[in-house]
Structure 1
Amino acid sequence: MRALTVEPLTSGSAEVRDVPDPEAGPGEMLVEGLALGICGTDREIVAGEYGWAPPGRDRLVLGHESLGRVRTAPPGSGFAAGDLVVGVVRRPDPVPCGACAHDEFDMCRNGRYTERGIKEIDGYGSELWAVETGYAVKLDPRLEHVGVLMEPTTVVAKAWEQVDRVGSRAWYEPSRVLVTGAGPIGLLAVLLGVQRGLEVHVLDLATEGPKPEAVEALGAQYHSAGMAEVVQRVAPDVIIEATGVSSLVFEAMAGTASYGIVCLTGVSPVGRKISVDVGAANREMVLENDVVVGSVNANLSHYAAAADALAKADLDWLSRLITRRVPLARFEEALRGRPDDIKVVLDLAG
C-alpha cells in the first residue's frame, strides 16, 4: 500500500512510499483510509522540527487527522464493515501516570504518551490502517465528506469543557465569546459556541473570502479591527485564543469582562520577544478573578462530544471549511499553505 512517510528531524524527507499492508491484531480492526487532514503539526514534522519514529525504525507514517471506512472488525466490537470511523491520536503512557490511569491521557503528566503520526506510532496517512477498537470512534454516515474534521473538533470540544469546568467554580452564565483566529480550530470553536446559544464574535486578519463568509453563515459576527478595539466593543466573557500570536495572547488575557476566562489553544513560536507589563497583567487578573488556561489534545470523552457536535452541524457549512482536496501523490501541494486555505485534505482513496 502507499503511505506518506517522513524521517523525523530531517527536513525535506517526506515522500509517498510503498509499505507493507497492516495486519489487524487481537482487538483491532482494519480500516480503508479515506482522507487525511493536514495541519501545522504535520508541516512542522515535515520541516524537521520534531517527531519521533516508532522504536527501531527510521521513518514514521505521517498523519493524525483521520477518516476511514472499516474493512474488518472483531465480532462483538460494536463496529462492522462499512462503518465510517476516525482513529484517536494519543495513547496513554505505559506507567501510567494518574491522569492516564483515569483515561485522561490528554493530560499526561510524565510525557511518556505516544501519538499516531507524531510520536512513536505510525499515523493514518496510508491507504489502509489498523486501529484498536477502543481507540476508534464511529461517525454518522452523513459525515463521509466532512468527517476528517473530527480531530480538530475534539480539540475544540476539550477547550470548551475546560472553560466550563473553570466557570463552574462559582456562578457561571456566559453570554458573549470572542474567538481569535478563523482557521479550522477557530471556526470549529465558533460552531460549538453557536451550538451553545452564545453570542459569538471572531477576530481575524482576513477581510474577504471563505473565513468571513463561514463566520457570518453561522450567525456570528466577524471583526478584522485591532484586538483592543474589538474587546472594548464586545466585552467577552470567554476568549478562545486560536492563533498562538504572542501579542494577541497577552491582549486576550487583559481583554475579558470581569470574572473572565481565556482558553489558549494556539501554540506560539519560540524566540519571538515582546514587551509586556507583567505587573499590570497580574494586577488585572487578580482583581477581576480572571483565569487563563491552556488546552491541547483530547481524550475519548472529547471524541464523543465532537462526533455529536458534527452530527448536529449543517453539512454544507462544514464543507466550507475544506477548501482544498489534494491526491496523496501530490502531498507537497497540501503542505504548502495558501492565503485562503482553511482546511486542506489529502485524498487517500484516489
Structure 2
Amino acid sequence: MRALTVVPSRPGSLRVADVPDPEPGPGDLLVQGLALGVCGTDKEIARGSYGRPPEGTDRLVLGHESLGQVRQAPPGSRFQPGDLVAGVVRRPDPVPCGACARGEFDMCRNGRYTERGIKQRHGYGSELWTVEEDYAVPVDARLERSGMLMEPTTVVAKAWEQVERVGARAWFAPRRALVTGAGPIGLLAALLGVQRGLDVHVLDRLTTGPKPRLAEALGATYHADPADQVAERLEPDVVIEATGAGTVVFDVMRHTAAYGIVCLTGVSAAGRTLAVDAGAVNREIVLENDVVLGSVNANLRHYHQAADALAKADSDWLDGLITRRVPLARAPEAFTGGEDDVKVVVTLTGEG
C-alpha cells in the first residue's frame, strides 16, 4: 500500500512510499483510510524540527488527523464494516504516570507517551491502517467529507473543558468569548463557543477570503483590527488564543473582563523577543483574579466531546473549512499553501 512518510530530523525527506499492509492484532480494527488533515505539526515534522519513528525503522508514516472506514472488526466489536472512525493520537506511557494511569494521558507527567504520526508510532497517512478498538472513535455518517476534523476539534473541546473547570472555582457565567486566529483550531473553537450559546467574536488579520465568511456563517462577529483594540473594546470573559503570536497573547491577556480566562492553544516560535510591561500584566491578572492556562492534545473524553460537537454542527459549514483536497500521490503539495487555505486535506482513496 501507499503511505505518506518522512525521516524525522531530515528536511526534504517527505515522500509517498510503498509500505507493507498492516496486520491487525486480536483487538484491532482494520480501516480503509479515507482522508487525512494536514496541520502545522505535520509541516514541522516534514521540515525536520521533530518527530520520532518507531523502533527499528528510520521512516515515520505521518498523519494524526484521521478519517477512515472500518473494513474488518474483531468478533463482538461495537464497530461494523462500513462504519466511519477516527483514531486517537496519543497513547499512555508504559510506566504509567499518575495521569496516564487515570486515563488523562493528554496530561502525561513523564513524557514517555507515544503518538500516532508524531512520536514512535506510525500515523494514519496510509491507504490502510489499524487501530485498537479502544482508541477508535465513531464518526457521524454525515461527515464522510469532513470527519478528519475530529482531532483538531478534540483540541478545542479540551480547551473549553479546561476553561469551564477553571471558571467553576467560583461563580462563572461567561457571556462573551474572543477567539484569536481563524485557522481550523480557531474556527472550531468558535463553533464550540456558539454551541454554548456565547456571543462569539473571531479575530484574524485577513479581511477577504473564506475566513470572514466562515466566522460570520456561524453567527460569530469577525474582526481584523489590532488585537489590543479588539480585546479592549470587547472585554471578553473567555479568550481562546489560537495564533501563538506573542503580541496577540499579551494584548488579550491585558484586556479581559474581571475574572477573565485566557486559554492558550497556539504554540509560539522560540527565539523571538517582545517588550512587555510585566508589572502591568501581573497587576491585571492578580487584581482581577484572571487566569492564563495552556492546553494541548486530548484524551478519550475529549474525543467523545468532539464527536458530539461535530454531529450537532452544520455539515455544509464543516465542509467549508476544507479549502483544498490533494490526492495521496501528490500529498507533498498539501504542505505548501496560500493565505486562503483554512484546512488542507489529503485524500487516501482513488488513483490520484
Q: Output aligned runs, 1:1-350, within 5 Å.
A: 1-350=1-350
Is there any run of 5+ residues in structure 1 with no aligned partner, and where? none
- The one-letter amino acid of 1:14's match is L
Residue 300 of structure 2 aligns to which amino acid in structure 1? L
Offset at 1:72? 0.4
Question: Structure 1: which amino acid aligns with 2:315?
Answer: L
Output the aligned Cα RMSD.
0.6
Cα offset for 1:279?
A: 1.5
Deviations 1:258-299 (Å, cap 9, x if unpaired)? Answer: 100000000000001111111111111000000001000000
CA positional deviation for 1:179:
0.2
For the residue of structure 2 that corresponds to 1:25, the secondary structure is: coil
- 1:26 aligned counterpart, secondary structure: coil
Give 1:337 shift: 2.0
Distance 1:139 1:334 in 2: 24
CA deviation after TM superposition for structure 1 residue 139, in Å: 1.0
Q: Deviations over 1:7-45 (max 9, x none)?
A: 000000011110000010011110000000000000000
Cα distance between partner residues in 2 of 1:348 and 1:60: 17
Partners of 1:187 and 1:10 in 2: CA distance = 32
SS for the counterpart of 1:296 is coil
Letter aligned with residue 112 of structure 1: R
Distance 2:133 2:332 in 1: 32
CA contact (8 A) 2:34 2:127 kept: yes
Q: What secondary structure, in the 3-state scheme, does the structure 2 residue paired with 1:103 have?
A: coil
Kindly state the Cα deviation for residue 336 of structure 1 after the two structures are TM-superposed.
0.2
- Distance, in Å, in 1 between the alignment partners of 2:337 and 2:271 is 22
User: What is the SS of the residue equivalent to 1:106?
Assistant: helix
Partner Cα separation in structure 2 for residue 62 and residue 317 of structure 1:
27
Q: Could you tell me how far apart the structure 1 residues matched to 2:232 and 2:4 are?
A: 46
Quote the offset at 1:144 in angstroms: 0.6
Q: Partner amino acid for 1:244?
A: G
What TM-score do the two structures reach when normalised by structure 1?
0.99
* Whole-angstrom CA distance in 1 between matches of 2:332 and 2:121: 22
- SS at 2:35's partner residue? strand
- Alignment-mate amino acid for residue 132 of structure 2: E
Deviations 1:311-333 (A, max 9, x none): 00001111110000000111121
Structure 1 runs (4+) deviating above 6 angstroms are: none
Q: What is the alpha-carbon distance in structure 1 between the residues aligned to residue 225 and residue 310 of structure 2?
A: 30
Offset at 1:57?
0.9
Q: Secondary structure at the match of 2:266?
A: coil
Deviates more, 1:127-136 or 1:248-257: 248-257
Deviation at 1:176, TM superposition (A): 0.1
Distance in 2 between residues matched to 1:90 and 1:145, nearest whole Å:
24
Question: SS at 2:179's partner residue?
Answer: strand
Distance 2:192 2:222 in 1: 16
CA contact (8 A) 2:259 2:290 kept: yes
- AA matched with 1:53: P
Aligned-partner Cα distance in 1 for 2:217–2:99:
39
Distance 2:336 2:170 in 1: 45
Point out where structure 2 has 5 or more consecutive residues left out of the alignment: none
Q: Structure 1 CA distance, aligned partners of 2:253 and 2:304?
A: 30
Q: What is the alpha-carbon distance in structure 2 between the residues aligned to residue 184 and residue 228 of structure 1?
A: 22
Q: Give the Cα–Cα distance (whole angstroms) in 2 for the partners of residues 135 and 242 of structure 1.
A: 26
Residues in 1 aligned to 2:73 and 2:84: alpha-carbon distance in whole angstroms: 12
1:233, distance to aligned residue in structure 2 (A): 1.6
What is the CA distance between 1:229 and its match in structure 2?
1.3
Q: What is the total number of aligned residue pairs between the two structures?
A: 350
Looking at structure 2, the residues matched to 193 and 209 of structure 1 have their Cα atoms a distance apart, in angstroms, of 22
Are 2:228 and 2:248, in contact at CA under 8 Å, matched by a contact in 1?
A: no
Q: Quick check: 2:14–2:46 contact (8 Å CA) kept in 1?
A: yes
Q: Distance in 2 between matches of 1:255 and 1:120?
A: 41
Displacement of 1:170 after TM fit? Answer: 0.1
Separation in structure 2 between the aligned mates of residue 232 and residue 275 of structure 1, nearest angstrom: 19
